[in-house]
Every structure is written in structure tokens, then in C-alpha cells.
Amino acid sequence: MTTAHVDVVIVGAGPTGLIAAGDLARAGRSVTVLERRPTINPSSRAFVTMARTLEVLDARGLADDLLARSHRAPGVTLFGGARIDLTHLDSPYQFVMITPQTNIDRALAEYAVVQGADLRRGVEVVDLAADPDGVTVTARSHGDGSVNETRWRASYLIAADGAHSTVRKLVGADFPGRTILSSIVLADVKLAHGPTGHGLTVSSTQKVFAFLAPYDARDADGAWYRAMVWDRDNQLPDSAPAGYAEIAGVLARSMGADPGLLEVGWKSRFHCDERQVEQYRHGRVFLAGDAAHVHSPMGGQGMNTGIQDAANLAWKIDAVLGGADDAVLDTYHDERHPIARRVLLQSGLMARGITLYPRIARGMRNLLAPRLLRIPKVRDAIAGSFAGTTLRYPHRSGEASLVGTRASRIPVRQGHIAELQRTGCFVLIRENGAPVVDAGRLPQAERADTGPALLVRPDGYIAWAGDSADRFAWAATLARWTGQSGAERLSCQTR
């Protein structure tokens, strides 16, 4: 059996694996994605893309096309009229994008391939051996009635192979946690009398709930929605088919009126777990996306978190392949593990809040939640947390407090930061009025507002803030992350 050599092997062509592949290929690394399905996953699970993910997609030139084909929901209406209002978000995207996950998967697959990643479908990873110098994976594919075994050798491996990750099992990582809700039915439905607003709505009683997200698709007799329905008294295994009567019944009971179910398109029954691995890094193997954490789909966070895991990891692998200290790779776990832990907590709270049973507790919830969510500080904290715009990474003592926050809202004199980030490089943003500095091939821009100069990481987070004339300071930060003593040998597409 021959062994193909690449810089990075990625297992799984879901959103996590595909964006990591595109980023690494964009940085000039050889990357192969091994995906066991012969075609794109047709089951469209995620339908909510959050503001921070849209910023990440924009930094790859992918947001506008997706937005042109999607619905924009300005908020989520919960119990008792409580509303998560996204219209005050500190982001160019003051809404959530509603589109089936298949559209995101397709856009990211195209991004990966256009950047030069080698995407192999119908290839299942079955074994893995890691040593101090690299990782060897064995994969199987089927063809002409025979089973073919192939082998890849890579410096690093990203396990983006989903909730039932083979790689996670092969590296011996536990996935502690538990099932929190069973028998949730997800379906595309056409309703004659669905909710009329543009936002997402959750309706619930003690026994049932229905979550509806509008698509921008309307026929003469009704409009299409993505529905998620659940019935406490009708708990069935994932394999049990979901029928028209079940969906129609739960919708009518939860909404308190019959919304007139006209058609059911794609549908599926699933359960949801809350689980997270303890370590994201296992030597040269990194767990990302659903392979590392799964949670209730209620907060619309899984795909969003996976995409952001990948955006955090890919440039670090590129940096270490380019000579940065190996410790840079440890920061992937340090930065991303706490974020997913918080997502687990937050989406779990939402699931428990919606399915709350005792009548008194439901009454309190319905009384307090709308009042709390009308307080601007609470409103913005909750909306920002769901949208991912208030999430930040820790900074070291002595570093400016801006370090670890995202840079996407900093206005620059020409264009947008997202456009500069499409190179995949660090970006130096000078103070308003400051002259161009000698920064080799590092892309530069000038702030259009007041504030310090910034060094922005390839994933859009601020690495340093200070005086752009202090070359020693920003170059030292660049060297710490990339191993390069100056900007002249910058490892990115502009090299």
C-alpha cells in the first residue's frame, strides 16, 4: 500500500472540516479531506447562522452570496413574549441568517476546493497511528465490488468527523455528558397561517414545543418554515418516522391555534446530547466541531461553534508548520474549550427553559424573562452571547484589554477589515493619521476612528494594541504567534 504525504489530513467534510481545509490551502499548505459519504450530507440540520460566523464567512468572501439566498431574522421570540433582539448587535450583521446547512456545506466545499484542498469523498478513516513526527491514517473506499485501503501521512490531523467521531475513539478520548432531549422532529413545513413576523418563534405548553424559522419562500397558499417540534408524551427512537399528523398536532397544540399545515418536506427525528471532550489536543491530532462538543440545537450554536473552532485552529497549524513554537497549538484548546463549555451551558439553559414543566416555574419564567430581556444591558449581553459577538479570548497580564476581542467592527479608511483578512494573513491597522510603517508584506490599513494601532490575527481577533511606530512591540507579538522575527517572511498567501 502506498502512502501519500501531505501537511494536514482532515477527517470529515462537514462545515468544520471544510473551512479548516480552505484556510490551510489558502495559506499554501497541502491538505487532504477524507469524507466517508460519497456526496454532500443531504440532511439539512443547522438552519441558523449567527453574526460572528457571518463575519468569519465574510473574511473568506463567502457571506454575500449566502445572504443573497437566505432569510434574515432580526430576533427570536421565546416564552411569554420574551424576545432575543439582535438588532442592536455590535456587528454588520444585526440578524441571524436562516438557510439550510446544505447551502453552507456547499459554499464551504467550494471554498476548500478553489483554495486547493484535495477533497476525497467516499473515503472512510478506519485507523490512525500517531508518533512524535506525524500521523498516519488508514482509510477505506469501495469501488468495483472491492474494498480499497489507502494510507495518508501528515504532520497534523484535524478530526472534524462529527458527533460519533471515529478519530476521537481512536485517540481514546472520552466524550462525557448525557442525552437531554429525545424525539425532536425537525422538518421543512408549509403553513397556511404561520407566524407573520420575520423572526424566529418558539411556542410551548407544559407538554409540547414548536420552534419555527421562516425561509423566504412563499407560495399563493402559504409560506415555508423550518420547524422543530417536540411532544413530552410521544417519545420515540430516532429511527421512528415522523408523520404529518404528529407534526400538525404538535404545531397546533403549542401555538394554541391550527397554523394550517399544507405540506411537509424533508423531515427527521433526533435526540440531543450535551457532551464535551476534556482535551481538544492529542499530540498532533486536534478535535474540532461536533467531534469535540455537542449540545442542544435550541441555541443554534453547533455549526457556528465548529466553524469558529476551525478558523481558530487552521492558521495556528499553518504558523507552526512555518516555524512557530509548538506551544501556539496549545492555545487552540485554551481558547476554544471554554467557549464550547459556555455554549453547552447556554443552549442547555434555553432547552430547559423551553421545556420547563412545573406550572409555577413556567409562570415565573413568563413573567420575568420578557422584563429582563427589555433591559438594554441584559438584552445586548444575551444577544451578543448567542451571536458570538461578545465572546472573547483571554489576554495575558500586561496586554491591552482589547487583546482577544474581535476586530471586525473597527472602521478602516479604505474598505473593510474583512477584505484585508481574505489574504489569510495577520493585518496591521495603524492609528488614524499614522504613516505607513515598514512591515514587509504584512497587509496594513489605517483606522477611520480613534484608538490604538492593532495587530489582527488571521481569525479576526486582536493580538496586540499599541503604537504602530513601536515596531519592536508589534513585531514581537507577531514573532510569538508565527515564529517569524519580522514581517518580511510572513507566512500567508502574499509570500
Ligand X SMILES: Cc1cc2nc3c(=O)[nH]c(=O)nc-3n(C[C@H](O)[C@H](O)[C@H](O)COP(=O)(O)OP(=O)(O)OC[C@H]3O[C@@H](n4cnc5c(N)ncnc54)[C@H](O)[C@@H]3O)c2cc1C
Contact residues for ligand X, defined by CB under 6 A: 11-17, 34-37, 41, 45-48, 101, 124-125, 160-162, 166, 186, 270, 289-290, 297, 300-304, 306
- Please report how the helices 302-321 and 327-354 are oriented relative to each other, as an axis angle in degrees rounded to 10: 180
Distance CA 167, CA 160 (A): 9
Q: How far is the CB of 41 from ligand X (least distance, A)?
A: 5
Closer CB to ligand X, residue 291 or residue 490?
A: 291
Q: How far is the CB of 366 from ligand X (least distance, A)?
A: 24
DSSP string, 290-311: GGTEE--GGGS-HHHHHHHHHH
Q: How far is the CB of 202 from ligand X (least distance, A)?
A: 13
C-alpha dihedral (270, 83, 265, 252), degrees to nearest 10: 90
Distance CA 199, CA 305 (A): 22
Return the sign of the alpha-carbon dihedral for residues 473, 477, 480, 484.
negative
- Side-chain-side CA neighbours of residue 414 (13 Å): 5
Q: How far is the CB of 35 from ligand X (least distance, A)?
A: 5
* Residue showing cell 497541502: 30
Angle, CA 14 vertex, CA 284 and CA 328 arms, to 5° = 30
Q: How far is the CB of 232 from ligand X (least distance, A)?
A: 18
In whole angstroms, how far apart are CA 213 and each of 91, 264, 337, 416?
Answer: 21, 14, 29, 30
Closer CB to ligand X, residue 25 or residue 186?
A: 186
Q: How far is the CB of 301 from ligand X (least distance, A)?
A: 5
Closer CB to ligand X, residue 120 or residue 489?
A: 120
* Residue showing cell 501537511: 7
Closer CB to ligand X, residue 215 or residue 270?
A: 270
Closer CB to ligand X, residue 99 or residue 491?
A: 99
Q: How far is the CB of 409 from ligand X (least distance, A)?
A: 22
Please name every residue paired with 124 in a beta bridge, in sequence order, or none if there are none. Answer: 140
Length of the chain in terms of residues written:
495
Closer CB to ligand X, residue 304 or residue 346?
A: 304
CA 468 to chain centre: 32
Composition of the chain by helix, strand, coil, percent to 5: 35, 30, 35
Q: How far is the CB of 324 from ligand X (least distance, A)?
A: 25
Distance CA 49, CA 30 (A): 29
> Within 10 Å of residue 360's Cβ, how many Cβ atoms?
8
Q: How far is the CB of 234 from ligand X (least distance, A)?
A: 17
Closer CB to ligand X, residue 191 or residue 213?
A: 213
Distance CA 205, CA 484 (A): 59
Closer CB to ligand X, residue 45 or residue 441?
A: 45
Closer CB to ligand X, residue 162 or residue 483?
A: 162
Closer CB to ligand X, residue 299 or residue 443?
A: 299
Q: How far is the CB of 236 from ligand X (least distance, A)?
A: 15
* Residue showing cell 495559506: 27
* Residue showing cell 499554501: 28
Phi-psi region of 433 (alpha: psi -120 to 50; beta: other; left: phi over 0): left
Phi-psi region of 323 (alpha: psi -120 to 50; beta: other; left: phi over 0): left
